[in-house]
Amino acid sequence: MTNTAASLQHARPRLKNGQAFAPMTSARAEAPLLFELADGSRQVSLPHSAAEMLPLLDGSRTIPEILETLARQQGRVPFKSFFSTLQKLQTQGCLEGAESLATEDSASRAEMFEREPIWLTRPIFGFELWKAKNIANPNLIAFLVAAIGSIFVTLGVLASVFFADLIDVPPDFLRLGGSYVKGLIFFFVVASLMITAKTLLKTLLAILLTGTRSAVRLELNLFSLALRSHDDKIYMAGGRSIGSLAFVAVASSYFFVFAAATAGAMAWAPGWSLVDDLFWVSVILAMVDLNPFRKSDLSSFFNIVYNQRSAIELLPYLKNRGLLSLTNKDKMADSGIYTAYSTLAIAWTMFAYNLLLMLITKNDVQILASFTEAWTSGVFAEWLACVILGISLLMSFLYLVYDLIRMIGSNVLHPLKTKWLVQKSKTRTKAEKIPNADALVDFLLGIPLFQGVGRDTLLFLVQQSSLRKVGPKTHVIVQETFSDELFVLLEGEVLVQKRQPTGAVQEVTRLSAPTVFGENTLLANTPRSADVVTLTECRVLAIPRKVVEDLLQHQTLRADADAFLDRLMLGQYIASSELFREAPKEVVSLFFNEGHVLTVPPGRQVVEQGRTDKDFYLLIRGKVDVIASGRILAELGQGDFFGEMALIMNTPRTASVMTKEPCRLLKLSANQFWSVLSRHASIALYLETVSETRLAGSQS
């Protein structure tokens, strides 16, 4: 943990070659920013505030130096947006020199709209044909004509399909002239033409709306060789209304080839037998590109137009719990966006499910018969085509069935999950005898929580506690349950994770032996706020609350137990501090490993104005005065903090801090300070708010 924090503190992030794009005309002052790599292969949607950050990511500044520069430019410290921007750029492969941010946790927190596409659509290879270039002045009227015209063409095509009775899936889909080989070739060629047509329309709309020709690549995947553009600027250039119009126009473009072919057939080849196959190829491609669970046109549109907190939670919510489990306790930033996207996702799933079901039930007998005939006659190409088509349909269907079962089943099983985890933990945990109590006491003396505690006191704790052997991937602590034990990790490694109301699981931190966790419930009977799961086989010492209560009542050990009690008071500090309001209480283990508890008598100066030290302090117990130039600016009490301004601004202390009464302080190094900020956006946000207030006060 220390190495990670240190590398983060000294990292010099450098943005890869590319350009940022902001809307030229938008009613929203906080419209998102889009960063695009020079080759057009990656685009990342960023908050509007990132515009001032990107020029500073040139590899010449450390992260603290960048924050210092931003604080001087803006008069504030944008912690949350800064770390969010760095993590998004790093996760999407647009940043160098900040590898300490590329953790499994940051990847899992990447917005659902920026995840990898489904494996069928991933390119096998590709190369750039045209680079992005400014080639014309924007023309909104021309854009509106082109976008609305394309939508009307699509509506006309769908109407003609309905009246021509082509809605039903054909029973010999992709069996052309009695051959599935010809059908797969037909699908590949048609898909390539349709995707290229869509790319050309998207490029045209981008030119008309932004004046910029997007980068275009030739890419090969499993079912096409086509021109592709990953340019999503058209969704943000004119605000939500124009972006929505652009999305509908692009999404409907798959039917252009069908419309052109149908018109040609009516003129020169009436009764053309491939019209129905052509239509259903269009439908399949449109469904792939509207997949709400992976990178697609739909997900890109929502990412650009509705780039906010509620969107981040949508995928895990839909995947793990489903729409019906939404309650008032689930705090979404915008329930309207959630409802809209959820409705689209469910509609897409049901439509795709029925489409695949019809394709399979109407073609399974024919595919099997053709497979048997090809096998018997030794026609390898036809046999292989039947296998490819059959497996593709079956795998796609199973994928959808899995999603449906997971969405529906999670709504029923979610309330039972906690009980199941508790029961599983019991079966995979074995009690052991403590082989040598004195040796274990020596071991405990090396852990920060027990430093300063006498041997007799520790021996009392050890003799009244239990030693347990826990198998890997087992819950030592289950979130939302009540238990009264503190755990000392003697061997192994554990993961602290928090299960969100949405069903998403977010990693908090990883702890290696020796360390302590679960201390927050010893002084207060509160439910566990996070899961602690073993990553390897572990040995833990479980200290019950009653043992600690007996220790505090012990006549000869009472005084010696005070240091231990102060450490346990950190649990109450976490509960009382707004700084950690959103963070799991088990995050206190981070501070046990790195922080140092100080006892300071009244009337002592903790921080001196004008000094250049960089330590950060958490006030566990007592009160202090903040004094500048002989004037008392504020009084701080339990749950408050101070010392962050010198760290952030890289300047001498702007005020002195004097104790008013006996105080217990947790002193954090600069490394630990940056580690906390990088791991917990909610802490960064609160710290940012307090720092703004203090900065304004120091300047008044």
For tokens 């430093």, name the residue: 451
563, 624: one domain: no
Do 523 and 399 share a structural domain?
no
In degrees, to the nearest 5, what angle opens at C-alpha 254 toward C-alphas 250 and 282? 145
Give the model confidence (pLDDT) of 138-183 as tens digits. Answer: 888 898 998 898 888 888 877 877 776 666 777 888 888 888 899 8
Q: Which of 73, 103, 133 delimits the end of a domain?
A: 103
Residue 69: which CATH number? 3.90.930.60
Residue 112 lies in a domain: no
User: The domain that contains 639 carries what CATH number?
Assistant: 2.60.120.10
Q: What is the pLDDT of residue 223?
A: 83
Would you place residue 603 in the very low, low, confident or very high pLDDT band (cuts 50, 70, 90)? very high
Provide the sign of the torsion angle of the four alpha carbons 71, 74, 79, 81, taken in this order: negative
> What is the mean pLDDT of the segment spanning 320-335?
41
Inside any domain, residue 27: yes
Outline where DSSP puts E strands in 453-586: 466-470, 475-477, 485-491, 493-499, 505-512, 515-517, 531-534, 538-544
The region of weakest confidence among 40-49, 61-70, 412-421 is 412-421
Q: Which of 364, 391, 418 is the last residue of a domain?
A: 418
Is residue 288 included in any domain, yes or no? yes
At residue 329, does pLDDT exceed 60?
no
**Judgement on whether residues 316 and 358 belong to the same structural domain of the protein:** yes
| Rg of the chain on CA atoms, in Å | 31
pLDDT of residue 94: 85
Based on the fold, state whether residues 464 and 574 are members of the same structural domain.
Answer: yes
286 — pLDDT class (breaks 50, 70, 90): confident
| b/e per residue 216-238 (b: at least 16 CB within 10 A) | bbbbebebbbbbbbbbbbbbbbb
pLDDT of residue 117: 60
Which band of pLDDT confidence, cut at 50, 70 and 90, is reported for residue 657? very high
Is the Cα torsion angle 688, 691, 693, 696 positive or negative in sign?
negative
Indicate whether 26 and 159 sit together in one domain. Answer: no
Residues 20 and 65 in one domain: yes
Q: In whole angstroms, what is the distance from residue 394 CA to residue 388 CA?
A: 10
Q: 688 pLDDT exceeds 60?
A: no
Same domain, 509 and 461: yes
Residue 373 forms part of a structural domain = yes
pLDDT of 505 > 50? The answer is yes
Contact 600, 652 (CB under 8 A): no
Which residues are CB-contacts of 338 (< 8 A; sequence separation ≥ 6)?
310, 313, 314, 317, 326, 332
Q: Does residue 263 lie within any of the structural domains? A: yes
Does residue 114 form part of some domain? Answer: no
- Give the pLDDT band of residue 129 (cuts 50, 70, 90): confident
Does residue 261 share a domain with residue 180? yes
Average pLDDT, the chain: 75
Q: How far apart (Å, rounded) are the C-alpha atoms in residues 338 and 465? A: 48
Residues 412 and 345 in one domain: yes
* CA distance readout (Å), 258 to 182, 220, 449, 654: 18, 22, 71, 70
Same domain, 571 and 625: no
- pLDDT at residue 219 tops 60: yes
Give yes or no for residue 500 having a pLDDT over 90: no
- Give the tens place of pLDDT for each residue, 349-375: 888 888 888 888 888 888 888 889 888
pLDDT for position 28: 45
**Among 581, 609, 634, residue at a domain's last position:** 581
Of 80-94, 213-227, 560-574, 651-665, least confident by mean pLDDT is 560-574
- Both 269 and 130 in a single domain? yes
The distance of Cα 217 from the centroid of its chain, to the nearest Å, equals 28
> Residue 645 belongs to what H/E stretch?
helix 644-649
Number of domains in the chain: 4
Calculate mean pLDDT across residues 196-216: 85
Question: In this structure, is residue 108 part of a structural domain?
Answer: no
Please tell me whether residues 604 and 652 are part of one structural domain. Answer: yes
29 lies in some domain: yes
- Per-residue pLDDT of 19-39, as tens digits, reads 887 655 444 445 667 787 877
Domain membership of residue 362 as a residue range: 119-418
Sign of the alpha-carbon dihedral angle for 359, 362, 365, 369: negative
